[in-house]
Chains A and B, each alone.
Chain A
């Protein structure tokens, strides 16, 4: 019953989306408003339909319908409720459905919000969003269907497993529920972490969110309306998508740190990088659109940036799901690789061609020209270039070089951490420098002298901070340079905010707090942006600290033995084995005491979890961590020995001291706050002004050339 509901909902969504495409395009071409509205309604309908399908799958998971192959794959009778819910996106089929739900949700809201604005753009917008949705529904419905069920057919000869069918085969009977329940696979242990509830949804929201700016851009190209209308419509969407993507990446790093047990949070894994690429181009786009809004420049740049952001999104999901490269993240290899490749190629080619065509038509002409290298426009172009360089360098390391090498010479190569550090560090340094000087530049031209004057205070502050850092132990030139550029960007953000507050105080005679609030209220984009930059600065400090100054060691300890690592005293107090938890895990917990300068700090409990029922990966190593702002003391069990029947008579531990690592997470929170401020709707007109305007409009205007439309 549930499976039927889900299947029908999916099928109807597919039909509705296809209809929406045709109705919108035909309606626009023939100027039939009713057809356009009909198409729009069909598009709106996809969201509730997909919600039904998703809820059907969720219901199946919660009521343990193991006949549905997906439920069998990702859960078992022991799975706790929490993971049963998150299993909705735990494997290929469910995550595809989840992706589609989120995409239709975004389209739904975008269509409602833009109901009566942008009438030239909306029909094509509907068509493009529905086209993307149609593709994902198609591969869900016809290739990776979450509602496939196990059936026993009379002519079944296979001895290994009962096959799953989407439609009920003739003369089929359902397998015994007890048998299904007892053999159910259960969720991959690596996914049984709190992060599972938020990392994939955030990441998907980020990816899917970029459909909206892309669709607006494409509708601008298709309709020929290449004014700033599409940019204005998408600004907030871009911010929201960017926010979720940033969150998703930070959460992924946090999860890796908590669960994967190698003391780090970013491994330059191909799938991680595939998610990072759209963030990089997306950030470039986010900044570059400001130029088009303010000065009508960089129109072609922005088109290409938004197209390649979305292309990177599709490439990312394609690379993850197709097995293009090996990764700890990859889903099981499936047959959707080829269809995804064709989809990705088509949208990239079509959008690039359309852009070039409009460009040749002269519709993407800039309104103004560049004034000088220190003008804000030039710095933003440099910004774009650096982000693109980063994207290409990271793409080359993860995909380009290995793929080309395999194709041309048949040899598998790896470009590892050393390559990525060597290539990205200088580029990030340039970005931080730009983050510092761009806010100090002006639209149009800025003479070097003028910029020089604004830079002095932040530079002095940076110098002072660096002296502090030097005294605290950061003595290498590389570290000082790194901290220097990062702190410089942060101080510029703080200083500019301070200057703004001072200016307000002088003008309105408000106290500091009121001035600050008013400043943010009046110009959320600018000052919200400064908070985001501040967040990036804090993250940068955390990254430099935890990468350059990480202390790592591996030791074997007898019970009761203490060692000293970087000033910390760690004592091994024994092993607790065979601890069974509610979901069937068997934990082996080591007890480690942490002290410093004679003072006891914490009791750490690094452990290994063993999942006896799971197939494939069946164990996990969880670190015992003591977190402070100064650093993390991160301890992993590497092994233990049993001597004379005493289990854990010696324990081998991997110990990491990660300085400043918590700044990475705190910086992330600051970043979120800044983005929320930036994207909050601004009060453009106060209530008093609005009522004045209303009364003014009531009287007929003399000399107004155009009538107010009804």
Chain B
């Protein structure tokens, strides 16, 4: 140690009234910091929760544009395809005809439901008319299903739900008609056995 460090040691006399441990005020400060950190941590965990790609698909009830009430759990025993879309989203326009074709092909065997995300009902209905969509569609204005249950990050996103209610497959972008058809066939086969 250099002589300067000795000088510095003399400089700082430890206070004779030094206390042991931490007192009341500091404990509260520490507690405050811990609470603050915990809140951010919880928020992070919630934020990072992704779309449900496995396990039971979150149940919900929604009213379609035709006025019908749709409850997911009542579809148990059937394959359900849940497609999130919006009229202002380019890829949604691209996949709409494919979805309609599949809906016609797998009529009565697969339940199709489209849910709009942040879309104007008039625009959604115009979209439906334009592509001649016959399957049920509904709007989710308060994002209860889109954000809270399925935690989608954009549109289009599609969930295929198996007859037992679990998520069979999650498509992050526009669907591929052949792939989806193959998946349906596979699920139908498994269900039949």
Interface residues of A (CB under 8 A from B): 119-120, 225-227, 229, 322-324, 333, 337-338, 341, 344-345, 348-349, 352-353, 356-357, 359-363, 365, 399, 403-404, 406-407, 410, 412, 706, 709
Contact = CB atoms under 8 A, between A and B. Distances in A.
Given A359-B26, A362-B17, A709-B2, A406 B12 contact: no
B129 interface: no
B130 interface: no
B44 interface: yes
Contacts of A407: 39, 42-43, 46
B16 to A, nearest CB: 8
Contact of B15 (A323, A356, A365, A406): A365
Contacts of A399: 40
Nearest to B32: A352
A307 to B, nearest CB: 10
B39 A323 contact: no
Contact of A361 (B5, B14, B42): B14
A406 B19 contact: no
A324 B148 contact: no
B11 A403 contact: no
Contacts of A353: 30
Contacts of B30: 349, 352-353, 356
Contacts of B15: 361-363, 365
A361 B14 CA distance: 8
A353 B34 CA distance: 11
A361 B20 CA distance: 7
A363 B12 contact: yes
20 contacts: A119-B1, A323-B48, A324-B40, A337-B48, A344-B37, A349-B33, A352-B29, A352-B30, A356-B30, A360-B23, A361-B19, A362-B17, A363-B15, A363-B18, A403-B39, A403-B43, A404-B39, A407-B39, A407-B46, A709-B3
Which among A356, A357, A412 has the greatest number of chain B C-beta atoms within 10 A? A356
Contact of A357 (B1, B12, B22): B22
B8 interface: yes
Contacts of A365: 15
Nearest to A121: B5
Looking at chain B's contact residues, the main secondary structure is helix
B41 interface: yes
Given A356-B22, A356-B26, A362-B17, A227 B43 contact: no
Nearest to B153: A333
B47 interface: yes
B67 interface: no
Nearest to A706: B3
A513 B84 CA distance: 72
Given A338-B44, A345-B41, A403-B43, A363 B14 contact: yes
Contacts of B37: 344-345, 348-349
Given A324-B40, A341-B44, A349-B37, A360 B29 contact: no
A58 to B, nearest CB: 32
A349 B18 CA distance: 22
A365 B42 CA distance: 37
A399 B33 CA distance: 16
B19 A323 contact: no
Given A119-B5, A324-B43, A407-B42, 6 more contacts: A341-B41, A345-B41, A349-B37, A360-B18, A360-B19, A399-B40
Interface of B: 1-3, 5, 8, 11-12, 14-15, 17-23, 26, 29-30, 33-34, 37, 39-48, 147-148
Nearest to A356: B26
Contacts of A226: 12
A371 to B, nearest CB: 21
Nearest to A362: B15
B62 to A, nearest CB: 18
Which among A359, A406, A709 has the greatest number of chain B C-beta atoms within 10 A? A359
A323 to B, nearest CB: 6
Which among B2, B12, B42, B48 has the greatest number of chain A C-beta atoms within 10 A? B12
Contact of B40 (A229, A352, A363, A403): A403
Nearest to B173: A160
A618 B48 CA distance: 27
A13 B108 CA distance: 62
Contact of A341 (B12, B40, B147): B40
Contacts of B34: 349
A356 B148 CA distance: 41
Given A119-B1, A225-B8, A352 B33 contact: yes
Nearest to B148: A410
A119 B148 contact: no
A341 B36 CA distance: 12
A361 B26 CA distance: 12
Contacts of A706: 3
Which among B1, B2, B17, B148 has the greatest number of chain A C-beta atoms within 10 A? B2
A333 B3 CA distance: 53
B8 A227 contact: yes
Contacts of A344: 37
B26 A348 contact: no
A341 B38 CA distance: 10
A625 B117 CA distance: 38
Which among B1, B22, B43, B45 has the greatest number of chain A C-beta atoms within 10 A? B43
A360 B48 CA distance: 39
A543 B30 CA distance: 38
A227 B9 CA distance: 8
A227 B42 CA distance: 39
A24 to B, nearest CB: 16
Nearest to B143: A412
B18 A227 contact: no
Given A352-B29, A356-B30, A363-B12, A323 B5 contact: no
A279 to B, nearest CB: 20
A333 B44 CA distance: 11
B53 to A, nearest CB: 15
A406 B143 CA distance: 13
A363 B21 CA distance: 13
Contacts of B39: 403-404, 407
B22 A324 contact: no
Contact of B21 (A229, A337, A349, A360): A360
A362 B18 contact: yes
A397 B14 CA distance: 42
A227 B11 contact: yes
A353 B3 CA distance: 31
A357 B30 CA distance: 11
B107 to A, nearest CB: 28
Contacts of B5: 119-120, 225
B4 to A, nearest CB: 8
Contacts of A341: 40-41, 44
A345 B33 CA distance: 9
Given A348-B33, A361-B18, A709-B3, A323 B43 contact: no
Contacts of B3: 706, 709
A418 B79 CA distance: 49
A352 B147 CA distance: 37
Contacts of B148: 410
Contacts of A345: 37, 41
A465 B14 CA distance: 53
Contacts of A357: 22
A54 to B, nearest CB: 29
Contacts of A349: 30, 33-34, 37
B92 to A, nearest CB: 17
A149 B39 CA distance: 38
Nearest to A304: B29
Contact of B46 (A348, A352, A359, A406): A406
B26 A360 contact: yes
Contacts of B43: 324, 403, 406-407
B47 A323 contact: yes
A324 B47 contact: yes
A353 B22 CA distance: 9
A353 B26 CA distance: 9
B48 A338 contact: yes
